[in-house]
Structure 1
């Protein structure tokens, strides 16, 4: 298994579908910072709170030239319904479903034990270099203010 990505490393590019079925690639956000926010599985309480917190603070991220992308290994149809239930209008949530967890594994965030991702935030600079990484306890809600302070 790959080690957790580190500050100073080039973030691996990817192409995944978001909740609307649009193909999203990291490289398409060149010149912007990108927050990759991993939640283990949709439809669980802390994961819902994590994505809602990002949505509530979406404008703050925009003001800091930062794109917010939520990540999990759930399928795109599941992400589509979940995004509607959560009323996500700004935050895109990506389906790292097939091949299962490939992007998550490339970032060193796949838990073989659980068969899902860890809970983590990876902040990528406008140049594609990782500038901040934090892994959280699986039951802990990431502090969005802590993330915003890194920008």
Structure 2
């Protein structure tokens, strides 16, 4: 199996509607006019995903001040996302994509290496979507540690 999709700057961001940790629908096209950081992570409450989510949480004020909205997406069901948000004080939307259709549309689902084995699952990826709904940046196979600082640097957003 190969990764069917790889989005690149200038591509239209695939639209979607997914439910957040409170069960409320979030539609990407409703956010036109804003820059969005859309990040895909493998599983709520795992060490790397917690590091990444908490780094986004800690950078939320400076990102928001720069007009950037943060949204996380995983295959987790809503109750797990609600627990994750509650446990770690995550105040941005965490979206449930249990059939991984949105992850597939973004090329964030496919083969990856996990402890030396090839498995199929969520590929930690981040996309910056501009106010017109186009991909500004596409980052695949990112590392959780230090990633948010890299996103801030690339967006020209100072730390909070």
Q: Root-mean-square deviation (CA), in Å?
A: 1.5
- Counterpart of 2:63? 61
Instruction: Tell me which stretches of 4 or more aligned residues in structure 1 moved more than 3 Å.
Output: 112-115
Structure 1: give runs of 5+ residues left out of the alignment: none
Q: Which SS does the other structure have where 2:72 is aligned?
A: strand
- Counterpart of 2:129? 124
Q: Which SS does the other structure have where 1:24 is aligned?
A: strand
Offset of residue 60 of structure 1: 0.9
Partner Cα separation in structure 2 for residue 136 and residue 2 of structure 1: 15
Offset of residue 3 of structure 1: 1.8
- Correspondence list, 1:107-118, <5 A: 107-112=106-111, 114-118=119-123
- Correspondence list, 1:1-151, <5 A: 1-89=3-91, 91-97=92-98, 100-112=99-111, 114-137=119-142, 140-151=144-155
Q: Which moved more, 1:7-16 or 1:78-87?
A: 78-87
The alpha-carbon distance between structure 1 residues 115 and 74, as it changes in their structure 2 partners (threshold 3 A), is farther
Under a length normalisation based on structure 1, what TM-score does the superposition of the two structures give? 0.90
Q: Which SS does the other structure have where 2:9 is aligned?
A: coil
Under a length normalisation based on structure 2, what TM-score does the superposition of the two structures give? 0.86
Structure 2: give runs of 5+ residues left out of the alignment: 112-117, 156-160
CA deviation digits over 1:41-99, x for unaligned, max 9?
1121010010000000101111111110011111111111111111112x2111111xx
The alpha-carbon distance between structure 1 residues 6 and 61, as it changes in their structure 2 partners (threshold 3 A), is same
